Structure 1
Amino acid sequence: DGTEITRPTVKVLDPSQNEICTKKKTVTLVCVATEFYPDHIQVYWQKNGANITHGYQTDERATRNENTGKYSITSRLRIPLKKWYNTRNRFTCLTRYINETSYNKTSYIDSFYTINGVKDDIISRSQWAKLTYGTLIAKSAVYGMFIFVVVWKLKVCLFFIFS
């Protein structure tokens, strides 16, 4: 129909704060592939470089934007909250965009976006809380030792004065 062949733009959306803060044991990552043409696309997920075979749902077919003539599709991955917070886990959304012509069929990994519970170079809230709590405990222990030493020295001095 004259529309130019276009690779998708892929973005992964973090779980919502409401989902993370509730007592639910799972969170949802959403992969959105947009502005591609034609609609021949596959979306799949990986964890630490290995394909995930269950726990995700991709739209049955891409949706066409009537204004641009291009397509979009979403995929949702549900994972346990513990896996989301594990800094060693990397979740990757990949799209395989297929350009079919009468002469050949080309398949390639077009775009990916990796996301994990704790972003690179950023300490998560739970890690900040642990660090702060540990610092307060250490500070309290040092202060307690200081008070103990002062009282012990006063006790020794008073013993000598009154003896």
Structure 2
Amino acid sequence: MVPCWFFVAMLAPVVLALEQSPDTVIRQGQSTNLSCSEKKSSNVAMYWYKLPLGKDSRLILVASALQGKNDEIIPPAVAIFSPSKQEIQQKSKATLVCLASGFYPDHLNLVWKVNGAKRTEGVGTDEFSTWNGSTYSLTSRLRISAQEWFNPLNRFECVANFFENGTLESIHKLLYGDAGCALTEESYLWYGNSLKLTYLILCGKALLYAVLVSSLVWTAKAGGKLYRE
């Protein structure tokens, strides 16, 4: 006999009366739809549990990952912010910030890409989305070296992935590396040394020119004296 699967849906904590599907029996390989609703709900989240016979209940699904019939899906607004010049000058590091805001529900993840390749090193993303009263926001940070940032050919991309009407959607935001107008400590020292070297070369040329002119003047005077004699 093909084994059967038993599912029970419940809401915790229960504040008001629930309306849910009756107990359902399906065979392996089959599928079914379960529904659970609460009128005038004051709960923030609903939870689904699977109850194996003879075993304690085990949480298998958080219903905040599900879409209610009356829920409106609001896609995020995504923006990338350039690193702080102070951080670059003091630490030779650059932190890019990606902010996804104004979305609902809270099931969204942020992914960083550099020149099209996924980047996980140096990435720090908030563990939970922030509730702003009606929508959510989520922040992720990418820390790179100043050298990597000061390369206009580098392309930094923040991708926000979320579900809309059962389909995975993505919003991409791009930011290119800086052309190098701001100076890091290393580049500042390099330019300073270059200026010093240029100054010394110019001084050397001026001195050589002065010696050459003095030699010509002395030669001319010596030649005139011999001519008079």
Residue 142 of structure 2 is matched in structure 1 by 77
* CA shift in 2, pair 1:55/1:150, >3 Å: closer
Task: Give the TM-score, by structure 2 length.
Answer: 0.54
How many residue pairs align between the two structures? 153
* Identity in percent: 31
Q: Which has the higher helix share?
A: 1
- After the TM superposition, which parts of structure 1 deviate over 4 Å for at least 4 consecutive aligned residues? 1-4, 126-140
Q: How does 1:104-119 map to 2 (within 5 A)?
A: 105-116=166-177, 118-119=178-179
1:145–1:32 distance in 2 versus 1, CA, 3 Å: same
Please report how far the alpha carbon of residue 138 of structure 1 lies from its aligned counterpart in structure 2 after TM superposition.
Answer: 4.3
Instruction: Mark the runs of 5 or more structure 2 residues left unpaired by the alignment.
Output: 1-67, 224-229
**Structure with larger Rg:** 2
Aligned to 1:158: 218
Query: Per-residue deviation at 1:57?
Result: 2.0
Within 5 Å, give how 1:112-151 maps onto structure 2: 112-116=173-177, 118-119=178-179, 123-126=181-184, 129=188, 134=194, 137-138=197-198, 141-142=201-202, 144-151=204-211
The one-letter code of the counterpart of 1:151 is V
Task: Let me know the Cα RMSD of the aligned residues.
Answer: 3.2
- Secondary structure, aligned partner of 2:181: coil
Contact 2:89-2:183 at 8 Å conserved across structures: no
Rounded to whole Å, the distance in 2 between the matches of 1:128 and 1:54 is 25
Q: How does 1:86-97 map to 2 (within 5 A)?
A: 86-97=151-162
Post-superposition CA distance 1:108-152 (Å, at most 9, x none): 321313242x15xx6333598566865675466356424422431
Q: Which has the higher contact order (CA 8 A, sep 6+)?
A: 1
